[in-house]
Every structure is written in structure tokens, then in C-alpha cells.
Structure 1
């Protein structure tokens, strides 16, 4: 898999609790891909793109590193992105 719907990727990455929440977040213009505002939940994202996500309490900056076929636990979700705001380990 080299591309995935934006709303589905946000849900798989556990940025939001439901896919409906992910679609609403994108539709409200609260997600940017490589700096460009995106309003289509069905937009295809690919590895290497950087998402800036404006949540209620904070802004997250995530670089897509992969995809999952199914939504897993939080540990599995952290394998599909690199958090650009956290200090390197």
C-alpha cells in the first residue's frame, strides 16, 4: 500500500477516536498536508508527507512513515508516523 485516505490514516494513527471525527476534522480545514490546507477527507496521503493537525488543545506535526490495513493499539499506531515535535530518542 503506497497511499491511503486522509481520514482513514488519521483514525489508524489514533489522532482521533472515530473515522467520522477524522472526516470532520479535515472538512473543517484543521489539517494541512505539507503546509497546504486540506478539506477533502478522501484525499490520498503517501509516506513522507508532513501533516499539521490543529486539535482542540494542541497542534500536532506528524510525518507519515507507513500505513496499516487495520486499526491497532496505540503502540502499533506509533509505528506509522514520526512525531516531529517530540525530542529524538
Structure 2
């Protein structure tokens, strides 16, 4: 169980640049495909806290990230990358200086930027 300050899940996904827009983050949260610590999420207003593990399907893979901190705004990708750790099995962690195309690799398939 994770305790402490929390942030709306849709805002975290958008602030951490795991979703291209807040409305896409809300849609992902309400799709019942995203999980926090193994529990299905069905509301965008669900609180996420540091230490929580988020997972969602993307194609044949499952993206897994651990929340390391809670951002207070949407900053540049290099800054946003510090708020989570990629735990996806079989994939090397994305470096802070990775290109934008690497950022899209974490996005759910339906929400990937064109």
C-alpha cells in the first residue's frame, strides 16, 4: 500500500508525458485497461502516489512504469522522465536524452502520436 500526497491519474499521465493530451489520458483511465498496483482503474480522478506501479497493454506488450514522484506542471520531456521508471520487461529503460520517438514507445497504441 502506498501512502502520501496524491495526484489525479490523468494529470500524472499528461504531466509525465505518458499521454499526448489530458483528454487522451482521461480516455485511457476510463477504458479499464490501465491498472495501479494490479487494480483496474475506471476513473480519471483516481489518485496516484509515488511508489505506485502503473501498467497498461500496448499491442502485444504491457507497459509497466513505477511512479517516482509527482510533478506540479507539464515540463519538457527530459524533466518529465524523472517522475517515473520504465519497468517494462524486455525493454531497455529510456534515457533522459532520448529522442521524441522513444517517448512515443510508452504511449498506448491508440494514443501514439502520428
Q: TM-score, normalised by structure 1?
A: 0.88
Which residue of 2 is the match for residue 27 of structure 1?
A: 30
Secondary structure class of the residue paired with 2:85: strand
Which residue of 2 is the match for residue 2 of structure 1?
A: 5
Q: TM-score, normalised by structure 2?
A: 0.70
Counterpart-to-counterpart distance in 1, 2:56 and 2:16: 12
Deviation above 6 Å: which 4+ runs of structure 1? Answer: none
Count of matched residue pairs: 89
Counterpart-to-counterpart distance in 1, 2:63 and 2:28: 13
Q: Where does structure 2 lack aligned partners over 5 or more consecutive residues? A: 96-114
Q: Check the 8 A contact 1:30/1:55 in 2, yes or no.
A: no
Whichever structure has more strand as a proportion of its residues is 1
Q: Where does structure 1 lack aligned partners over 5 or more consecutive residues? A: none
CA RMSD of aligned residues (A): 2.1
